[in-house]
Amino acid sequence: MEKNLAERPSVGGRPAGNASIRKPLACGLILLGAASFLSHNYVSNLVTRPWPSNAPISSEPRCPQASPLVPSRSTKELDDAWEYLNSDAFFNKSIEHLSGAVKIPTQSYDDMGEVGIDPRWDIFHSFAYYLEETFPAVYKTLEVEKVNTHGLLFTWKGTDAALKPTVLMAHQDVVPVPDSTVNQWTHPPFSGHWDGKFVWGRGSSDCKNQLLGILEAIDTLVNAGFQPKRTLVLSFGFDEEISGMQGADNLAKVLIKRYGHGGAAVIVDEGAANLEGWGANWAIPGVGEKGYVDVIVTVRMPGGHSSIPPAHNGIGVAAELVSLIEANPYEPLLHESNPYLSLLYCGAEHAPEFPKTLKHLLKKRAHRTCSKKDQKDELALEAAKAGLDIKYLFTTSQAVDLINGGVKTNALPERTTFTINHRINIGSSVDAVLFHVAQLFTPVAKKHNLTLNAFNNVTETPSSITLTTRPEHLEPAPVTPTGPGTPFSILSGTTRALYGEDLFVAPGVMTGNTDTRYYWGLSEHIFRYSMGWDREQEGLGRIHTVDERIGGKAHRDVSKWVFGFVRNMDEADL
């Protein structure tokens, strides 16, 4: 088998030192949030069943669409509840709820200490109190548990214990607002200002809107006298923005212990939004995520007085390594399991403005067979021309984002370090990335007579380049099944019932990671989807930056979507 084209090292030679890294294979390997979109908009990507290699591209539908799905079991109270969700009265109350939630600055910082020790966690008590005051019927009807103090777990027990539960997720925390940017905001970042069109503030679109929308939908169902057959679980972490190790990790462990491996029917968390591309409208719930690994590079070289410098010192060698990384990016590669490949097939089938060149390459790929010769992925290279936002949906990314070296102007650095952050392509792996870095750096180590200590619990030695990783690395997520009769059909039907049949549903992939990284054992049916849609709003509401905001209609539609999805899942034969 040939080496994975996306992970093929650009410099020859095997890793030196203690490197022990499996060589990646290809003709059968591969993995994003937010995501990026089709030609030049923000998008994610999708996956359906594998395309038969010997069939013409038009022989069968690649992207069959679910019919709009409306709950069949209803009552006058539920019908009235639906009318209420469409009313001005609900809209105004919903905006008020979200505005109040944004006003509570539940910021999570990278250097947060343990819960109960670091006082910066205390603000989450205020947020939990706000939710309880805002949704008393939910707290009275559902069982509410606190996991590791601030994790919130709501359980609405169904009447049929044989049915696996539906799990809806969101997170309470928000990205911090740097003091230096406060004056750049149109409205103060924690004002929750409503201007008649948008709710402004940190967390308005990431993702207190989803959390509040879920609770508003469940509150409406409770007040309408709905009694679920299928147990419903709401799981709200509190440190998603800093990797979820104190929140989602503990919540997931509780749920897996309670329901068992594969014990949930479906999980829906935050993720990609509805967008326009190729002349069509798309819903792109994420069915997978890229992997993640940080490689820490440490250069150890002799110090001394800077007035008599050697030809190369530690910072110089580190700079050479950084330049080498940037000069040798990973190549785009669309593995058969990558959802973006299926998005291309869906675009070719449904979108009126789908590029002819891509359609031609899709036909060519349908007849492609594995070759022993290294080949460029022509389809991936053509698709990547749309820009970096698209390219990184099917390319491993690498970015040097931390560097440190030297302590004094007249002293040569004895130890220089930098970190390379990687987001790993579907079909690739952590090992493939480690092999690539070690093989790339081998000639530099040899050139400067340095020992290369590569991974596997190595320790630093004098005159060396040492490669290690942070412990929280992550393989690309398993890809969620999207075939007929799966929860994907329920999600698709619910979405098209709400937004219309001119919207096509196609599974996506996240370039970042959500709290679902801890829930892989709970269900194979995981979707990352921001279900509220305001066609006048661009992208994902400026998440993680100045002037974050969410359209009022988009926020209201979260509740309407959840109201329908919970009932549809309740009636589903899964």
**Residues that are catalytic:** 173, 240
**Residue 208, both tokens:** 């207190």
The residues with which 405 forms a beta bridge, in sequence order, are 416
145 is in an annotated binding site: no
Sheet with 166-171, strands from edge to edge, namely 143-147, 151-156, 232-237, 166-171, 266-272, 526-529, 286-289, 508-510
Q: Which residues pair with 166 in a beta bridge?
A: 232, 266
Q: Is 544 part of any known ligand binding site?
A: yes
Helices (H), 448-522: 487-499
Distance CA 493, CA 483 (A): 13
ω before 207 within 30° of 0 (cis)?
Answer: yes
For residues 126 and 104, give the distance between their C-alpha atoms in angstroms, rounded to a whole number.
7
Q: Can you name the residues that pair with 234 across neighbouring β-strands? A: 154, 168
Residues 548 and 201: beta-carbon distance below 8 Å: yes
- Residue 329 CA, chain-centre distance (Å), reads 22
Q: Is 118 helix (H, G, I), strand (E, B) or coil?
A: coil
Cα atoms found within 13 Å of the Cα of residue 395, Cβ hemisphere only:
23
- Long-range CB pairs of 417-421 (<8 Å, 24+ gap) are 417/296, 417/297, 417/298, 417/299, 417/318, 418/296, 418/297, 418/318, 418/321, 418/322, 419/294, 419/295, 419/296, 419/297, 420/294, 420/295, 420/297, 420/325, 421/292, 421/294, 421/397
Cα gap 419→222, rounded to integer Å? 50
Residue 23 φ then ψ, to 5°: -75, 130
- Which of 366, 440, 364, 425 shows the shortest CA–CA distance to 395? 425
DSSP string, 398-435: EEEEEEEE-S-TTB--SEEEEEEEEEEPTB--HHHHHH
What are the backbone dihedrals phi and psi of residue 126, each rounded to the nearest 5 degrees, phi first?
A: -65, -40
* Residues annotated in a binding site: 171, 206, 241, 269, 544
Binding-site residues for Zn(2+), in ranges, read 171, 206, 241, 269, 544
